[in-house]
Structure 1
């Protein structure tokens, strides 16, 4: 205080910055205001400060050291015999995710593997430039992103699909706080997993929850409660919580529920979480909740200040993952290049969990010297076949009959798919006569869960898609597969998508080339089962191809075409589509991966004449995937898609093809401009098949008139063209009308 005005100003600025870090600082400041600036007149504030320094400083340091030790390592499962779990430093392996400061308004009813890849990235890039804002994890409690006007205490909800990195993000947040990098406004951070909280069936309180994990707090918690503004509580995985927390339930405001305002009052775990988020318990504290989108509705009426969603990896973030995964940058570049060039695999790589599977399965192809590029997986069935092949190669010889064991694992996996169950217990293993082993650990991860005061082991597949694939393999290991046709039909007809990816795997495994690696360790798949699967796919495609009048019919047909794609069976595709002349998906949103599948199908079939993709939200990326097969259709309808000039240019490539059969082409309202029209007309200069062309509702102006004149006079096959509702002037329209009547000899 005797250093002058500048020193006093710095001191007061420092107090402001320390306000949320130091308990009782408000009392100290009030004491200064009452007693003045002379330290000799401040016995009470000085005593309070000494109490903090002597009692809580050591506990806070111990807490940081504990959290740092718990979070500094990242454990990643492998499929290698020599190394079941790879332990790395979190800072070395953590790849930044894209997080946006809102949650997109959409209903996620489809399987997470079916989520879009490249158009997901285009969506992100487009909307981040507009209304959506990227937010760093250290900004989740900044007032600039908050929807609440409260100055102290806030709640943040972060949503994301399975495997997108929510739990790893929480680990990184805790580690960064413990190492002093972020959130230093919080004196203490307490992190819980809803999965662990499920085992607490009795009434408890917040004090017991904390002491169970951090017993060194002892009797200091009462001092901790005095500064709730300095506390951050993290609850990870709301979707895994068995007890329902409904913030719209008015009964929670009853007297019994309202009693959970004391951190030492015993109540249900759900009431503790509810009261913390709603600000009834320790008002002023902050809370972070993570969840899958499927449980977001539970938080709609909660006092959430900041909503955020993890979009996963986009652009260079995907590449960074592979660079961090592989020690050899050359291998990392080769693997990512293969992923980038394959739409199926690239679509998966927005999700860290899929990146992990891709890296494990593809890595050996680019590290072995004698490798065959033709064998590198191109479909998801081929990818997972090689993933399981590696497990069998490294662990299969440790047991006598791997075929029988994998059959039982697959049967358990299928029951899980049927019941939407992803966590299995010792009781499940006993039911299917399975015992923990090094071989089994290649498929099932062991997790510790709490059960009252003890801990028990539960099991889960590394990812849902691995569970689905093992379930599909089991169908080919059943000795007598007579009922498989009925089984497949029932699974395909379910109203939700729980069997969708499972059925793709079944269809893909019917290809002998795909199954060959697995048969090396499991023995031959029954020929009759393979034939029945192929027959089922063929008949299902035939049955669904004439049922496209409804949205459900179109979706069902598209699914069966995905089965064809996974089978990679040219003869099957030609037999299934041999009499199909029309494919219509009008009004149905198609992803780039859907477009890649359709292109594959059309490329194998010579009978499809009418191809209707109007109102399908196809963008440039989708047309690029469709491109190789478009020239084979006689009537092509692409109106009302966001193709733009670059997309129309890709259509032009089909028109340039010497074998082009396109006679009728609809390109209404596709975003074509004068620049694109010139290139389009040039492409048509060598075409001899086009008879009808619709370019209405685009952005053509008088600048395009000379090119259109040239088109009309030089394209001998063209009989009809529509150019209405463009941006021509009166003069331009008059000039175009004059072309309606051909002159002598024209």
Structure 2
């Protein structure tokens, strides 16, 4: 590394107004990953900057994007800060960002030459889309969209049935590997309207994504990036139409009226805009939320942009290319509406949002928490829970997990105190989906959810994750309100035809609904579902006992859904009665499962010998139940296991509430602080006989140490 001058630059260059330079610089910094931003600041403070002065590290060490932008403007001036940013980005090998900044800077001069209205429209879009509100935002709470947004894996190829099944079933490391493979072949948003290998440029692009997968956030980021001259420079105007907005469906309007609603000025130059329709892009967000029929005869469609007709006619005409056929369309939708969309729109390019890869999940945690230590602690905790980590592929689940953990880390006791269990996170995910429903649809949802639980349980029993159309119809789940919300639809080629197949977003979500099947109280319905599994939970538990792993997550969810708070939350939102009637059956099964015939024959001391028992009790979060369940036992015997951070918290919960505990045996167990691939995970050998050097997480050590004070004769062994 070369040496930096210790003095501030004497004569910063002048050129672009500081406001314009600052805006360009801020957008560039916000688009950097957490690691890239850290390298950027380090290079500003310590790098070889070609004789230019470095900024003292003390000013940059804790600076966020906004702070860094202001420091650079103060230190180098507007043009000098842009020069320095390009130099540093190239120095740290982030050349794409350097090229984008250089392009945006060059276009900045041209922007002054844009027509006044076009320039003002872009400014209004920047103002409207630069900030976002979280679902739990209070009045005045907003965050930067660019600062929060993390790259999503987007693919533009159809996967076959076997590939879909692998994605739905895979957990933990295997799921992360699949997402990594998909990410290596993913496309970026800016390429959606680029020519294909054959040189053909699409005019109509459909962007698919399951519920909570980030379609609307991506659509809003597209608007922001277009206004910032980062994407789709070929379009003079991009108009955002959200299908959920009620006023869209209530009255007659013309296409010119819809465009005017998108504009900040009530008198846009419509004749000029509509005179070049090939320069217009309509971003239609949430097609699946449109509630009208598109089966309109050609004679009812319109072709004149100033003709007033019902909005459904206007949109149908736009989709079917009778209205402004030279314009381009980008339509987002959930997979279950794909067939309906196909009836009114010729999709020329298909792309699907798969969610976050492992790298992007970690990036999202760091962007959300801002505090690096908290982000690392939360991410490591979640990675130890493979069910939760897998579902963090879904952006809304990632947001729920981060939101809950940020609140927990702000309390004494941290993540080990007042935890949200895996069941609790899945409940919050379901509630988030249900709250997105319009009031008109909510009365029908209790019946829909009961039938959905029947389908899920039937699939779990038959080890089935892809359902044929006739099976979904058999449960009366082919209604438009049910499919897009909770089921995904896929089209597979079969011989010379295409067939529809349905699935839950992941097997774990199917197992969540299957567990709910055993707890929902039956209520009279007009339509009885086809014969499926009985509600006899004993049959499930017996099958789990013989298969050991197949029903494991379903059984965990059974315990988690018995939690009184979880039941109350679901009853309030679902409108269904959830009964704890299976509590005694679960209690008896758990106790009997640990008293094996061999142990009884050998007259061994009654002990908990499976960590899975602790996981089930942890999901329930009921200390009285845990004490009752563990009362017949005197010890815990876990041998030859790798216990990660999450396992240790789970174990500590049972140990804390174990009324008759006399001994613990952790023979040949490894206690992992971090995931093994980090290279720092397993604790060194030779720490076996002392509690304080056992490798247990600090919270676990505190609980065990406190327990030994109460029970001086407690025997703890590690060999």
Q: Name the TM-score, length of structure 2 as normaliser.
A: 0.47
Q: Name the TM-score, length of structure 1 as normaliser.
A: 0.46
For the pair shown, which has the larger CA radius of gyration, 1 or 2? 1
